[in-house]
Amino acid sequence: MQDTEAVRSTAGFLLIGLVAFAILLIPTIFYLLTLQKAFNRCSPENRAMNPVLVWLMLIPLFNMIWHFMIVLNMSKSLAAEFQKRGLNEEPKPGQNLGLAMCILFCTGIIPVLGMIGSVGALVCWILYWVKIAGYSKKLEAPAAFAPA
């Protein structure tokens, strides 16, 4: 009787864990699609990174370091593309916010401080996502192309 209860309890926790994982995975996938789209909207010669490489963010622990690489390469790519198109934008688009987000995500592994850092990281993540989506939208517009 006790074994049956233990199995049910374990199965319940496993189900809750899988549902929580799925709930967290869905926004992550949409975030990565946004990043990939932004890289794709930059001309190949201005891309500091292959757009497909954003999916390496799905590798646990490695993603903490890889996120820094994505933020820096996104900033370089967008800056080069905006300059090529003659658009007046900040010199390192999204870099400061993106680095703050990455640093705050890294603090998440520190006890106590991690809880505060994780809340800040979530806020910065949403702001960075919106900012990159805005830059991507700006690159999508046909009027964005300036004559060479």
Written in H, E and C, the secondary structure of 3-30 is HHHHHHHHHHHHHHHHHHHHHHHHHHHH
Per-residue confidence (pLDDT) for residue 1, from 0 to 100: 55
As a whole-number percent, the residues of the chain with pLDDT over 90 amount to: 72
Q: Is the pLDDT of residue 8 over 50?
A: yes
Give the C-alpha separation, 51 to 11, whole Å.
38
DSSP category for residue 44: G
Domain coverage including residue 79: 2-144
pTM assigned to the model: 0.86
Q: How many domains does the chain have?
A: 1
As a whole-number percent, the residues of the chain with pLDDT over 70 amount to: 94
Give the C-alpha separation, 80 to 67, whole Å.
20
Q: Is the pLDDT of residue 119 over 70?
A: yes
Across 110-130, average pLDDT: 94
